[in-house]
């Protein structure tokens, strides 16, 4: 079937980038809300038990591999190559790449899935050695893993389909697709858990069903484009070989990231009880704007930048980066300020119920403050990294990321030791481990280390782009406008925030009402302040290219 009319990403109306970004973000918002509902349902239906521990291990393993093979390394390598083939204007070559990539990916992942299902008992032993002491839990986790492991194959093919749709400017459906996992797990828990001898098995089948749904829902959209894959092995295909070469550095980078995550967990486990939970809840709140805006911008600009690179149109390439940086600053800075100002009300409203005490609110809010310091940098990394991946340079951003991750590991240790020393009154006489485990607040050092390493990552990415002449212009004038508007927003919100005791005493409905009112007031003050300071919607609507030069202002 022939491909439909090609829509050249770099030549489409620039306003579509903004529209696509908010389309992607709105779909992600739906998924995040459903994810929160899913967590509530799982807690309500299954609580915390040996069976739920077995499920979470069985769910974590294919998700870990998914980040390596699907949404991470594969997508970052596949989309730029696909965009280049599209720009050549040869539908047959484009279809050949898609067919060969699909067949090769399926062959590799079918083998990995078969090994995973057959070796499930040993894989569980590696990921959860504590289960060995409980044969029933080990057997349950093994059974659950055999059900969930094929999700890796399904979600990898879903990522391939999403990459094709994104390259052709279809962002809403791939962005909404992750919500199906939350829906499937909610339905499995509510409607089917009572039909199993072990209710948690319903969740495993829910994960499997979600993989089928996530892949199936994208196939009609591919068919309408004339790009429904006909899988065939293609290890010798030039495009497939290039994708595989581009994946190698990102796989290495992902491995280092997982080691860094394990170190974070290891250090947090040595701190006072509750530290891991405080960091988890703070991170969930920080990830909300990052997922809505940072990931949305990254996903939307990658195919456009790849197409511009394929045409060697570096004026528009830089203009697109400038636009993304300006939009990222306009959203990221007030998001960080707003989260910081409302840290305690947010944590109180969302989590302070039952066993979650006011002291837990305070500690989680402190961690959120530390994460907020790095939020603009985290969004900046999401914007700058596609400038490399779009040019099929996966080595440089991975090398930079590894540098930042190593710095994060070292800063974790240094910051925790320094902060613990201060909290302990500069006295380690009780012993290092005993001191770490006795003083609440040291977990903030881990969040702060993440923020510092985030800034290091962003600065190094920008510096390397400058060397190649592609660094986006830092819009100083607009940054000052955004900073001033954010300060006015913070002042207005702080003037209206009730005292902490009032939040603790209020019911859930009152808390939600107060919080919603504060968010609305803050957004209005910020928007009006930006207008008064001279930043207009037209400045954010499109990349500006003036007389052969790109402009970030």
Are 101 and 240 in contact by the 8 Å Cβ rule? The answer is yes
pLDDT of 28: 76
The residue from 193, 214, 236 where one domain ends is 236
Residues 383 and 484 in one domain: yes
What stretches of 88-225 show up as alpha helix (H) in DSSP?
Answer: 91-118, 120-127, 135-148, 151-167, 172-176, 179-187, 201-216, 219-225
- How many domains are there within the chain? 2
SS3 state of residue 514: helix
Whether 2 maps to a domain, the answer reads: no
pLDDT of 9: 37
Residues 158 and 263 in one domain: no
Report the sign of the C-alpha dihedral through residues 328, 251, 124, 185, in that order.
positive
Map tokens 């899988």 to a residue.
Answer: 231
pLDDT of 45: 78
pLDDT of 14: 40
Are 268 and 443 in contact by the 8 Å Cβ rule? The answer is yes
Whether 304 maps to a domain, the answer reads: yes
Whether 27 maps to a domain, the answer reads: no
Whether 465 maps to a domain, the answer reads: yes
The residue from 236, 259, 294 where one domain ends is 236
**In Å, how far are 9, 220, 222 from 226, measured between CA atoms?**
18, 10, 6
Query: Structural domain of residue 528, as residue ranges?
Result: 248-553
SS3 state of residue 551: strand
Residues 343 and 197 in one domain: no
pTM of the shown model: 0.75
Residues 206 and 270 in one domain: no
pLDDT of 11: 39
Whether 539 maps to a domain, the answer reads: yes
pLDDT of 545: 55
Residues 205 and 347 in one domain: no
Whether 20 maps to a domain, the answer reads: no
Residues 308 and 274 in one domain: yes
Per-residue pLDDT of the chain (553 residues; tens, 9 = 90+): 334 334 343 333 344 677 777 777 777 778 778 877 876 677 667 755 677 778 877 887 887 777 666 566 787 788 889 988 998 888 999 999 999 999 999 999 999 999 999 999 998 887 777 677 788 888 998 999 999 999 999 999 998 999 899 888 888 888 888 889 999 999 999 999 888 888 889 999 999 999 999 999 999 999 999 999 999 998 999 999 998 888 888 777 666 665 666 677 677 767 887 777 788 778 878 888 887 788 888 888 888 898 889 888 999 999 999 999 999 999 999 999 999 999 999 888 877 766 667 888 888 899 999 999 999 999 999 899 889 988 988 889 889 988 998 899 899 999 999 988 888 777 777 777 777 777 788 889 999 999 999 999 999 999 999 998 898 987 889 999 999 999 999 999 999 988 888 888 888 889 989 999 999 999 999 999 999 998 888 777 766 654 344 444 4
Residues 55 and 164 in one domain: yes
Whether 9 maps to a domain, the answer reads: no
> Cα(129)–Cα(267) distance, rounded to whole angstroms?
19
pLDDT of 254: 60
Residues 227 and 274 in one domain: no
Pairing, β 544-546 against β 549-551: antiparallel
Residues 162 and 279 in one domain: no
Whether 387 maps to a domain, the answer reads: yes
pLDDT of 451: 93
SS3 state of residue 546: strand
Are 226 and 220 in contact by the 8 Å Cβ rule? The answer is no
Residues 232 and 331 in one domain: no
Residues 372 and 407 in one domain: yes
The residue from 188, 205, 236 where one domain ends is 236
Residues 310 and 191 in one domain: no
């Amino acid at each position: 079937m022939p491909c439909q009319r090609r829509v050249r990403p770099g030549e489409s109306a620039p306003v579509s980038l903004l529209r696509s970004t908010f389309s992607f973000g709105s779909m992600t918002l739906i998924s995040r809300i459903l994810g929160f509902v899913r967590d509530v349902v799982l807690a309500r239906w299954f609580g915390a038990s040996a069976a739920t521990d077995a499920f979470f291990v069985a769910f974590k393993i294919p998700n870990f591999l998914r980040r390596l093979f699907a949404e991470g390394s594969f997508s970052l390598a596949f989309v730029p190559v696909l965009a280049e083939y599209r720009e050549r204007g040869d539908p047959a070559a484009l279809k050949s790449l898609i067919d060969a990539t699909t067949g090769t990916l399926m062959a590799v992942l079918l083998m990995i899935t078969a090994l995973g299902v057959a070796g499930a008992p040993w894989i569980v032993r590696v990921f959860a050695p504590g289960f060995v002491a409980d044969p029933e839990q080990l057997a349950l986790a093994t059974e659950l893993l055999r059900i969930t492991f094929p999700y890796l194959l399904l979600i990898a093919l879903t990522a391939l389909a999403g990459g094709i749709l994104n390259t052709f400017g279809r962002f809403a459906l791939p962005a909404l697709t992750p919500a199906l996992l939350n829906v499937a797990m909610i339905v499995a828990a509510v409607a089917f858990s009572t039909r199993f001898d072990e209710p948690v098995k319903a969740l495993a089948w829910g994960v499997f069903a979600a993989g089928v749904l996530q892949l199936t829902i994208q196939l009609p959209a591919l068919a309408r484009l004339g790009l429904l894959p006909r899988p065939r092995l293609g290890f010798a295909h030039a495009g497939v070989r290039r994708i595989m070469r581009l994946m190698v550095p990102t796989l290495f980078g992902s491995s280092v990231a997982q080691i860094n995550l394990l170190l974070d967990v290891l250090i947090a486990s040595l701190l006072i009880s509750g530290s891991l939970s405080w960091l988890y809840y703070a991170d969930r709140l920080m990830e909300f704007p990052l997922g809505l805006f940072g990931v949305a911008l990254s996903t939307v600009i990658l195919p456009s930048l790849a197409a511009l690179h394929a045409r060697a149109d570096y004026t528009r390439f830089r203009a697109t980066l400038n636009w993304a940086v300006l939009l990222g600053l306009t959203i990221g800075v007030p998001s960080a300020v707003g989260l910081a100002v409302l840290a305690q009300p947010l944590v109180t409203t969302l989590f302070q119920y039952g066993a979650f005490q006011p002291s837990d609110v305070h500690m989680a809010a402190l961690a959120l403050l530390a994460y907020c310091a790095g939020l603009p940098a985290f969004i900046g990394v999401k914007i700058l990294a596609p400038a490399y991946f779009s040019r099929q340079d996966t080595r440089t951003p991975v090398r930079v990321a590894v540098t930042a991750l190593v710095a994060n590991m070292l800063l974790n240790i240094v910051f925790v030791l320094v902060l613990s020393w201060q909290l302990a009154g500069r006295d380690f006489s009780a012993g290092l481990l005993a001191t770490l485990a006795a003083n609440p607040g040291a977990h903030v050092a881990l969040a702060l280390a993440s923020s510092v390493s985030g800034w290091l990552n962003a600065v190094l990415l920008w510096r390397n782009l400058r060397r190649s002449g592609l660094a986006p212009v830092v819009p100083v004038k607009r940054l000052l406008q955004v900073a001033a508007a954010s300060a006015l927003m913070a002042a207005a919100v702080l003037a209206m925030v009730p005292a902490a005791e009032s939040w603790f005493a209020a019911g859930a409905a009152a808390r939600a009402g107060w919080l919603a009112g504060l968010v609305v007031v803050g957004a209005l003050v910020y928007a009006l302040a930006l207008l008064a300071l001279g930043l207009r919607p037209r400045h954010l609507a499109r990349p500006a290219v003036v007389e052969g030069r790109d402009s970030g202002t």
